[in-house]
A and B are shown apart, each in its own frame.
Chain A
Amino acid sequence: MKDLFTNSLNGYILLSSLLFCIGVLGVLIRKNIIILFMSIELMLNAVNLLLAAFSVHHNNPDGQVFVFFIMAVAAAEITVGLAILVMIYRNTGSVSIDALKKLKW
């Protein structure tokens, strides 16, 4: 247990895993679509943090470049997601995933 806190890399892995799990739980249990989007962002940012930590640990800049790619892609992705949300709000008047139950068998 002592090693867990003295080795700084383990701390980053632990923190990122925790943030990631909060994001995953948020996606799985929340109903409001905007909160789902926030949870997805949390997952991606947990990854960013860990990548930056590993990048410093390996003394290799590739990881930090990857962070920029993730940020750019996440921005593009969330833009599309918000556009979809606006479309859904216009048709159903709600931002809850419970409004969408048309497709099932």
Chain B
Amino acid sequence: MSKLKENFNDKKMTAVIILSCLGIVSMLADIFSYKKALWYIVLAGVAGAIVANLNEKSNAIIYDMLLTDNYAIWFSTLILALVLLWFMVSKDQYESGVYNSSDNYALILFATVGALILTSFSDLTMMFLGIEILSIPLFILAGSNKKDVSSNEASLKYFLAGAFASGILLFGITFIYGSTGTFKLDKIADWANAAGSNLPALFYTGILLVMVGLAFKVSAAPFHFWTPDVYQGSPMFVTAFMATIVKGAAFAGFFRLFYTSFTSASGSWALILSILIAATILTGNIIAVYQSSVKRMLAYSSIAQAGYILLTVLLSNQEAKYALLLYIASYGVSTITAFTVLYHVEKIKGTDTFESFTSLSQTHPLLSVVMTIAMLSLAGIPPTIGFFAKFYLFSSVLKSNTSYLWLIMVSVAGSLVSVYYYFRVIIAMYGQHEPIISSEKKQIPAFYNVLLLLLVCVIIILGMMPDVLMSIDNL
């Protein structure tokens, strides 16, 4: 306990401590009956964690396991901001009475702790623990609609894919440990530098297995097969959480590991990773075209976006960190917005197909404007942040290594295909005019109107002034 207090006074790991305590507070809400106030408590707690995180002692080494450098602090802040946003938009789902808000909030908060660890680890032990702390609550959350068989199925598929991927990741970590004799990221990097070009096969195998394990977690093709089913079966806002925060944290961890430890051995994995990226972009974008459910389309779109984000890992330099931060911010905000609109449309119309968006512009003009801007941002069309994130990413890849021109061409072709399925939603909303049934005129709460307008402002303002994120020193 005194150690805990010492860390707290020393401004180390404060955000992690706050979130863990908040999770316990949230679990006790049922017993001490403050469930009505829980949403406000959680919101205040997460806001507090953001402030604490920004005040975190920089470059502190915590038991040789975590390192709070600028990269860790800014990615944690981004993830916490997305979590705060998530708690605001998901209020309606957890007040409907189908889900027990105190249990669900506790699990989300614990998963967030894992996400924070994934941004700041300096030891492979912590990376493994971060991934597990992040995924185990999500296995439960995916199945939180207990009576629904598709939710059950999503939960089991996520569990099997997650546990299988952890096994492969661990086998890779073991091989790396076997060849280097350490779990510390910087010592692995030193070892690889000293060994030069004659690295043992054990080390290469380890890197490849770790890459496969992490590719499972970020749903890169050909390890993406679980994603569409899990995203479709889970409750709407759990899917939103998986698609934004979990994915963002997994990428932050992926990049941190490869950037810190494996850059000097990049000759061995760059080619395989670039093939993986091309496959991911093509599979995600092409299969998304054939979907009839918007939720499943967003799942395939998230696979395709994972391909673009993986370009930063391939790049592994200083500039790639900015590209990664910008892309996760852009993708996170746009996706949360899209899922919020989809949640309300599904609630009003009863399904999540493309047809349910028909003539939405007549009954809900605000929802359609918001959805249009979210889709434009995901497709990467100015003046949204999505455009700038993609532009910056592609140009920084070309600037550092022109031999990846073919990969950029694949990415641009993929983006062009993606315009088709994102615009299908927009065309359904504005193109067709059908007689309106009066039950479809039900309006959404005023709170959500304000929130959605706020999200649109964020997407557009960040698109106009991306320098806000670019001006961070020494990321």
How many residues of B sit at the interface, in one of the four size bands? 35 or more
Which residues of chain A are near B173, meaning CB under 8 Å? 66
Instruction: Provide the bound-state CA to CA distance between A33 and B232, in Å.
Output: 21
How many chain-A residues does the 8 Å CB contact rule pick out?
Answer: 43
Tell whether, in the assembled complex, residue B170 and residue A70 are in contact, meaning their CB atoms are under 8 Å apart: yes
Chain B hits for A60, CB < 8 A: 181-182
A4 at the interface (CB under 8 A from B): no
Q: Which of B19-27, B132-140, B440-448 contacts A (4 or more CB under 8 A)?
A: B132-140
Once the chains bind, are A66 and B183 in contact (CB under 8 Å)?
A: yes
Which residue among A23, A44, A47, A97 has the maximum number of chain B CB atoms within 10 Å of its CB? A47
Task: Provide the residues of chain B in CB contact with A57, threshold 8 Å.
Answer: 178
Which B residues are CB-close (under 8 A) to A70? 128, 170
Is B274 an interface position by the 8 A CB rule?
no
8 contacts between A and B (CB under 8 A): A40-B163, A66-B128, A84-B139, A87-B152, A97-B156, A102-B149, A103-B153, A103-B229
Residue B253 CB within 8 A of the other chain: no
A83 vs B156: C-alpha distance when bound (angstroms): 10
Residues of B close to A103: CB separation below 8 A: 150, 153-154, 157, 228-229, 232-233
A73 touches B132 (CB 8 A): yes
In the complex, the answer to whether A47 meets B171 with C-beta atoms within 8 Å is yes
Interface string of B157-183 (1 = CB under 8 A from A): 101100110111011011001100111
Cross-chain contact A102 with B139 (CB below 8 angstroms): no
Contact residues of A between 27 and 49, Cβ < 8 Å to B: 27, 33, 36, 40, 43-44, 46-47
Are B290's CB and A91's CB within 8 A?
A: no
Are the C-beta atoms of B164 and A105 separated by less than 8 Å? no
The 3 closest A-B pairs by CB, nearest first: A43-B167, A58-B181, A103-B229
Contact A105/B152 with A40-B163, A44-B167 known, Cβ cut-off 8 Å: no
Q: Which of B136, B155, B167, B233 sits near A40, CB closer than 8 Å?
A: B167
